[in-house]
Amino acid sequence: MTYIAKPKFHHPGLKKNELGYTHRDYEGKISTLCAGCGHDSITASIIEACYELSIEPHRVAKISGIGCSSKTPDYFLGNSHGFNSVHGRMPSVLTGANLANRELIYLGVSGDGDSASIGFGQFAHSIRRGVNMTYIVENNGVYGLTKGQFSATADRGSKSKKGVTNTDNAIDLVAIALQLGATFVARSFSGDKDQLVPLIAAAIRHKGASFIDVISPCIAFNNHAGSTKSFDYVREHNDAVNRLDVLVGRDPISVDYAPGTVQVVEQHDGSRLALRKLDADYDPHDRLGAMTFLQKHAAKGQIVTGLLYVDPDAEDLHTHLNTVETPLNTLDEQALCPGSAALDKINASLR
Amino acid sequence: MKPTDISAPDYFHKVVDCQWACPAHTPVPEYIRLIAEGRYSDAYMINWKSNVFPGILGRTCDRPCEPACRRGRIEENPVAICRLKRVAADFKDDIKHRLPRPGPRNGKRIALVGGGPASLAVARDLVPLGYHCTVFDADPKAGGMMRSQIPKFRLPDTVIDEETDYILDLGVEFKGGHRIDSLKELLAANYDAIFVGSGAPRGRELDIPGRKEAAANVHIGIEWLASVSFGHIDKIGRRVIVLGGGNTAMDCCRTARRLGGESVKVIVRSGFEEMKASPWEKEDALHEDIPILNYMVPIAFVHDNGKLSGVTFQKVKAEYDGKGRRNLVPSGEPDETVACDDVLVAVGQENAFPWIETDCGIEFDKWHMPKVDPKTFVSTNPKVFFGGDAAFGPKNIIWAVAHGHDAALSIHRMLSGEDINERPLPEVHVSSQKMGIHEWSYDNDISADKRFKVPHRDKVIALKDIRAEVELGYDVKLALGEAQRCLNCDVQTVFTAPLCIECDACVDICPMDCITFTENGEEDDLRRRLKAPSPHHDQALYIADGLKTGRVMAKDEDVCLHCGLCAERCPTGAWDMQKYLIDMVHAGSTCQSKARSAA
């Protein structure tokens, strides 16, 4: 780790967003992860996405569990709310916070250990309920903090740094998320920010359960030959189905695409996603098709990345539960204690 | 773009902007680090080797290094390089035992005309090699314009004495009070080489009506300053006008303030911003209650039967033509007469070589300047060399020193039977600064401090005593603070592409967004695709290819803080911080014929 603080000086020509912030204003403390960790690139991508969306840092809640990945919220959005919960319990804490205050942007940051093992059930239920959040798994296939044991997402047949072969089947969190009804599902790679930053931005703007699985090589324990989550392996086997541009507001699509190659998806909040197709047959609105596509390519050893599924008309948990529009902390006494007449009415309805 | 050849000695040299801008190429960051460590004598010796007069230059240098300083591109002010040099001089121990000793005499004799910085630099380089150097100067003591024209309140005699004595004590024969009136005679004395470092000794005249009649109260700036310096003049009228906007004008007005000038004004033709004087010298003048009036062209000295009563000025304004050239045109306002008792004319300096006969083999150009080779400093007479202001007109001390080094090298080569046009390449050392996983042999924690002000003597006291030095210099604590502002630009970011796994760690950590991994392209195109804007095309792009993805690493050197975070966050050691030191070639450098070595 680095002991000095990152200097406050920044490039004098840095662009500012609508709020007058540079991307440096979205940083947190300096990372204490190993040099070269893929997680740091995801951190940089979250910073970039929030900067590009001109998000007010104090309107974001970043919530994590335990593990290398769950340490990262300390390294971005230093002026946002944060909750570093117990191992695997990020989804519950996030769900609770979301129910109490629906106006914040919820970033759930977790790892493959945190979400695919100890917190697997939590992960499943938060997705199943359609909590409005951006759930990012920083997936390196190993337990880095305990020196590199295989995690539940390590591919069968891949080799550990010591040369041991993994005999267990891997959990594909993307497949599970699709199956459980997530309304925005993507996979990306920490070494490809051009792909990752717009995916994070689109997920943040999506109203519903967004899930992004980011392959993030562990430099210390999982970046060797025989690993299926190394920089070299992912670069060689990456099969991107599309490229994304997020268009916020009324910006016209200025990029000149060849006709028929771009699909524009309009989300509920008015943001539009311009999808450049790389695979002509891939349809990101077809949940079943996506699942089949994933399985077929996985069988061939390919890692499918891109925006895999999006439901632009998604609903979230608040809609399902018909909850009050305002955050609970802004409800006044009148709303919270409507008086005995209201109580009598409720009691009467239950008789 | 082609991959950068970092083994070319100039590549990293340019990244050390201050050193590159310095005519003598003083290794600035190296001595600033020594100051921070409290090793003042070591810092002084680095300077002494490179610029010969650290104490003098630390007070008076024109500081081309400071506008070049990288720090000035990331915040308001550059590092106070010049004043840190003075710190080294102020706090050093006795360094006499570290000075070179004259080598065994080689029987060769060199005559040096003028005892200023150029000649003394030549003598400093040649005496240790065994040459017999004789310096002739019209003034009784060595120093030239450093002694005669720079006011004592900026540069005390003790400092000049100390640093000229370091050179004279090497065994230089100094003939003070001996003006050379004939080059022909000097040539006849059969010296093996002659170096002319006689400066630009003549102040430019201002030939306007009334000049002759009012002569008693109109003085030529540099002559007047010299007279003050040598004690021949000790007072001036109550109201003084200084004409001219250069540093000499600033010295004139501040001197006048100390000799009885209660109302001293500087009046310049050009605009305030375009004045030739250094910004800090203008500041010092303004601080001493000297107004600077601009866009006023003197058209006549007003006098009453020879008694000066004022100067009449035409008011002008600046107009720019299609090519952006400035013309001063009458503004249409009525002329203005400013009353005064004395005028100091500081409108420029000229060379004068009445003592060089036409049949000495020295050719002159149409501006009456000797034809001098800008690399070797030889004139059209192969035995006669020029340097300092005598070579290319008025510049400043640090240029004179740089000329001196080069001329000395030419003289040494010529008298060793070598081709003077062949200049040996400098020796370059590049060495890793890595001490541990995240430890470097330099302090990479970037200080956020603003430039520290140099303490000044109280104005009331300073204006009463013409010999009281105004600037008191940094104390040890201020010097440490200022030294920490240096970005260590000589500690270079060195990239080894085959080690890189393209994890982006360096890109993510870089506080200045200097690093981009992208497809290669032509320079203009590449500069547009960098992570941060790249407005300074004179600042190099460091390009490395050979990466697995086929992209290139492009680093814009422009605003790199040299904090080493790229190297700290690099998991494979593809980035390293390596200190670059360049040994400029002086006469007698060892290894002159050896091939250069770089990264």
φ and ψ of B440, to 5 deg:
-125, 155
What is residue A221's DSSP assignment? T
Closest CA to B539 of B8, B6, B11: B11
**Residues 6+ away with beta carbon under 8 Å from B514:** A11, B531, B532, B555, B556, B557, B558, B559, B560
Contacts of A34 in chain B (CB under 8 A): 571
- Per-residue pLDDT, B481: 98
Q: What is the mean pLDDT of residues A297-307?
A: 92
Is residue A351 pLDDT above 80, yes or no?
yes
Band the pLDDT of B9: cuts 50, 70, 90.
confident
Contacts of B513 in chain A (CB under 8 A): 10-11, 14
Is residue A275 pLDDT above 90, yes or no?
no
> Within 10 A of B350 (CB to CB), how many other CB atoms are there?
16
- Judged on CB neighbours under 10 Å (0-12, 13-18, 19+), B352 is middle
Closest CB to B444: pick one of A4, A13, A14: A4
- Per-residue pLDDT, B595: 40
Is residue B598 pLDDT above 60, yes or no?
no
Closest CA to A269 of A182, A341, A211, A207: A207
- Per-residue pLDDT, A256: 52
Please provide the DSSP assignment of B144-185 as one string.
Answer: THHHHTS-TTTS-HHHHHHHHHHHHTTT-EEEET-----HHH
Q: How far is A42 from chain B (nearest CA, A)?
A: 10
- Judged on CB neighbours under 10 Å (0-12, 13-18, 19+), B594 is exposed
Closest CB to B446: pick one of A9, A44, A223: A9
Helix (H) or strand (E) holding B507: helix B505-509
Is residue A254 pLDDT above 60, yes or no?
no
Residue B445 sits at the chain A interface (C-beta within 8 Å)? yes
Return the SS3 of B102.
coil
Cβ of B571 within 8 Å of Cβ of A35? The answer is yes
List B137's β-bridge partners, or say none: B176
Share of chain B above pLDDT 90, in %: 92
Best residue in A9, A15, A45 to probe B by mutation, most B CBs within 10 Å? A9
Cβ of A10 within 8 Å of Cβ of B73? The answer is no
Residue that the structure tokens 């005028």 belong to:
B343
Find, in chain B, the residue whose alpha carbon is nearest to that of A194.
Answer: B518
Q: How far is B22 from chain A (nearest CA, A)?
A: 25
Contacts of A38 in chain B (CB under 8 A): 503
Is residue A259 pLDDT above 90, yes or no?
no
Residue B511 sits at the chain A interface (C-beta within 8 Å)? yes
* Interface list for B 419-438 with A (CB within 8 A): 438
Return the SS3 of B518.
strand
Q: How far is A274 from chain B (nearest CA, A)?
A: 22
Cβ of A6 within 8 Å of Cβ of B509? The answer is yes
Share of chain B above pLDDT 70, in %: 98
Cβ of A9 within 8 Å of Cβ of B509? The answer is no
Closest CB to B74: pick one of A9, A35, A41: A9
Is residue B194 pLDDT above 50, yes or no?
yes
Dist. CA B109–CA A28, nearest whole Å: 68
The string of pLDDT tens digits covering residues B370-381 is 999 999 999 999
Q: How far is A9 from chain B (nearest CA, A)?
A: 7
φ and ψ of A124, to 5 deg:
-60, -45
Dist. CA B291–CA B250, nearest whole Å: 11
| Identity of the amino acid at A325 | E
What is residue B471's DSSP assignment? B
Dist. CA B588–CA B575, nearest whole Å: 36
Dist. CA B86–CA B88, nearest whole Å: 5
Dist. CA B268–CA B347, nearest whole Å: 9
Return the SS3 of B508.
helix
Chain A interface with B: residues with Cβ < 8 Å: 1-14, 24, 30-31, 34-38, 40-41, 43-44, 190-191, 193, 217, 219, 223, 231-232, 235
Cβ of B503 within 8 Å of Cβ of A217? The answer is yes
Share of chain A above pLDDT 70, in %: 96
- Per-residue pLDDT, B599: 41
Closest CA to B113 of B218, B202, B186, B8: B186
The string of pLDDT tens digits covering residues A94-130 is 999 999 999 999 999 999 999 999 999 999 999 999 9
**Residues 6+ away with beta carbon under 8 Å from A56:** A19
| Identity of the amino acid at B63 | R
Helix (H) or strand (E) holding B391: helix B389-392
Rg (CA), chain B: 26
Band the pLDDT of A279: cuts 50, 70, 90.
confident
Q: What is the mean pLDDT of residues A248-274?
A: 66
Contacts of B514 in chain A (CB under 8 A): 11
Return the SS3 of A52.
helix
Is residue B291 pLDDT above 90, yes or no?
yes
- Per-residue pLDDT, B594: 41
Is residue B496 pLDDT above 90, yes or no?
yes
Which residue stretches of chain A are H helix?
Answer: 38-52, 68-71, 90-100, 112-113, 120-129, 173-180, 193-205, 231-237, 287-299, 317-321, 333-336, 340-350
Dist. CA B470–CA A40, nearest whole Å: 53
Cβ of A13 within 8 Å of Cβ of B503? The answer is no
Contacts of A223 in chain B (CB under 8 A): 501
List A209's β-bridge partners, or say none: A133
The string of pLDDT tens digits covering residues B430-458 is 999 999 888 899 999 999 999 999 999 99
Best residue in A1, A2, A10, A11 to probe B by mutation, most B CBs within 10 Å? A11
Find, in chain B, the residue whose alpha carbon is nearest to that of A30.
Answer: B509
Dist. CA B271–CA B349, nearest whole Å: 20
Task: Give the Å distances, CA to CA, from A328 to A133, A336, B36.
Answer: 18, 9, 57
The string of pLDDT tens digits covering residues A83-93 is 999 999 999 99
Dist. CA B291–CA A213, nearest whole Å: 69
Band the pLDDT of A1: cuts 50, 70, 90.
low
Structure tokens at B512: 């200045």
Dist. CA B362–CA B351, nearest whole Å: 15
> Within 10 A of A203 (CB to CB), how many other CB atoms are there?
25
- Per-residue pLDDT, A266: 80
pTM of the full structure: 0.91
Is residue B470 pLDDT above 50, yes or no?
yes
Q: What is the mean pLDDT of chain A?
A: 92
Residue B460 sits at the chain A interface (C-beta within 8 Å)? no
Structure tokens at B568: 């700290």
- Per-residue pLDDT, B593: 45
- B180 and B186 Cβ atoms separated by less than 8 Å: yes
- Residues of B463-495 as b/e, b for ≥16 C-beta within 10 angstroms? beebeebbbebbeeebbbbbbbbbbbbbbbbbb
Is residue A299 pLDDT above 50, yes or no?
yes
Return the SS3 of A171.
coil
Closest CA to B388 of B197, B125, B180, B154: B197
Q: What is the mean pLDDT of residues B457-481?
A: 96
Residue that the structure tokens 């605003």 belong to:
B559
Return the SS3 of B292.
strand
The string of pLDDT tens digits covering residues B74-117 is 999 999 999 999 999 999 999 999 999 888 999 999 999 999 99
Is residue B52 pLDDT above 90, yes or no?
yes
Helix (H) or strand (E) holding B12: helix B9-15
Find, in chain B, the residue whose alpha carbon is nearest to that of A191.
Answer: B503
What is residue B579's DSSP assignment? E
The string of pLDDT tens digits covering residues B388-415 is 999 999 899 999 999 999 999 999 999 9
Q: What is the mean pLDDT of chain B?
A: 94
Find, in chain A, the residue whose alpha carbon is nearest to that of B71.
Answer: A9
Contacts of A215 in chain B (CB under 8 A): none
Task: Give the Å distances, CA to CA, from B385 to B188, B349, B519.
Answer: 16, 21, 52
Is residue A281 pLDDT above 90, yes or no?
no
Closest CB to B511: pick one of A10, A43, A190: A10
Q: What is the mean pLDDT of residues B358-364?
A: 94
Cβ of B445 within 8 Å of Cβ of A232? The answer is no
Contacts of B501 in chain A (CB under 8 A): 36, 219, 223, 231-232
